[in-house]
Amino acid sequence: MIQFTINDQQVEAQHGWTILEAAREHGIDIPTLCYHEAVAPSGACRLCMVELKDGNWSKLVASCIYPVAEGIHVYTETERVHNVRRWIFEMLLATCPASPEISALAERYGVTSTRFSAADPDRTCMVCGLCSRVCEEVVGLSAIATVDRGVYKRVGAPFSRPTDVCVACGCCLSVCPTGAMQSLFDTVRGIPATIMTQLTA
Ligand code: SF4
Ligand code: SF4
Ligand code: FES
């Protein structure tokens, strides 16, 4: 077992665990969006940032991809963590202004407005890729993927057309942290998507 501290509390974790896994094991809250225990972490959203400190030295790391190590000192509620968390929530509120899930999570951490302007007021997808990772790693298919780059980056079926590679299992719907897959699903599966959406509502 590896011994280290989180918020000055002595904790232990198994080799290979991430800071996030150790924190959750010890009931310490760290917000996440793109993380799901069923798939390998991607570090896409950066919401799970924590601060590592050693004397005067410190750095911010994404806890869902940073492995625990003997003797490290992790802090989840410092001023630097709060600042970066607020900044990420503000970016998310501007990226996904139509997502009630994002608004609710941001509000839970005290962020109710954003200084950034929203490019698309109807957008809900943060393009975290969790849906496509679940489709590939859990379901064993690649019916959906992240396509294009920059501001055009999005998730969908190849060529933005319904695909029968999708077996309508609903796994992507259930893990989507923003509710975006509810509306995207029609573009992936076509008409049966309407039935799935009702079943999983
Ligand atoms: S649909 Fe949901 S899970 Fe998929 S990329 Fe968008 S926000 Fe992430
Ligand atoms: S519903 Fe379709 S796209 Fe979604 S995880 Fe299942 S197979 Fe993949
Ligand atoms: S939850 Fe760690 S980067 Fe998204």
81 to 56, 84, 120: CA distances (angstroms): 16, 5, 28
Q: Select from 78, 82, 119, 75 the least CA-distant residue to 97.
A: 119
- Are 155 and 184 in contact by the 8 Å Cβ rule? The answer is yes
Query: What length is written for the chain?
Result: 201
Distance CA 87, CA 22 (A): 25
- Whether 2-75 and 130-200 share one fold: the answer is no
- Establish whether residue 97 lines the binding site of ligand 1, counting it when its CB lies within 6 angstroms of any ligand atom: no
Q: Whose CA is nearest to atom 1 of ligand 3?
A: 32
For the chain, the structural domain boundaries read 2-75, 78-123, 130-200
Contacting residues for 83 by C-beta, under 8 A, at least 6 apart: none
Give me the CATH code for the 2-75 domain, please: 3.10.20.740
Averages of pLDDT over runs of 10 residues in the chain (201 residues) are 97 97 98 98 97 95 98 98 98 97 97 95 96 97 90 85 91 96 87 56 59
Among the residues of the chain, which ranges form H helices?
Answer: 19-25, 79-95, 100-108, 130-134, 171-175, 180-189, 192-200
pLDDT at 162: 86
33 touches ligand 3 (CB under 6 Å) = yes
Question: Helix or strand or coil: residue 97?
Answer: coil
d(CA 48, CA 81): 9
- Residue 17 CA to ligand 3 center (angstroms) comes to 15
Ligand 2, CB within 6 Å, residue ranges? 134-135, 139, 141, 143-144, 166-172, 188
The answer to whether the CB of 41 falls within 8 A of the CB of 64 is yes
Distance 140 CA to ligand 2 centre (A): 9
d(CA 13, CA 108): 28
Query: For the residues of 144-197, what is the DSSP string, one character each?
Result: -EEES-GGG-EEESGGGS--TT-----HHHHH-SSSHHHHHHHHHH-THHHHHH
Alpha carbon distance 71, 29 (integer Å) = 21
Answer yes or no: is the C-beta of 61 below 6 A from any ligand 3 atom.
no
What pTM was computed for the model? 0.90
Identify the residue whose C-alpha is closest to ligand 1 atom 4.
131
Q: Which atom of ligand 1 is nearest to the CA of 34?
A: 8
How many other CB atoms are found less than 10 A from the CB of residue 38?
11
The response to whether residue 45 sits with its C-beta less than 6 Å from ligand 1 reads: no
15 C-alpha to ligand 1 centroid (Å): 30
CATH numeric code, 130-200: 3.30.70
From the CA of 137, the nearest ligand is: 2
CA of 34 to the centre of ligand 3 (A): 5
Pocket test for ligand 1, best of 126, 171, 185 (most atoms within 8 A of CB): 126
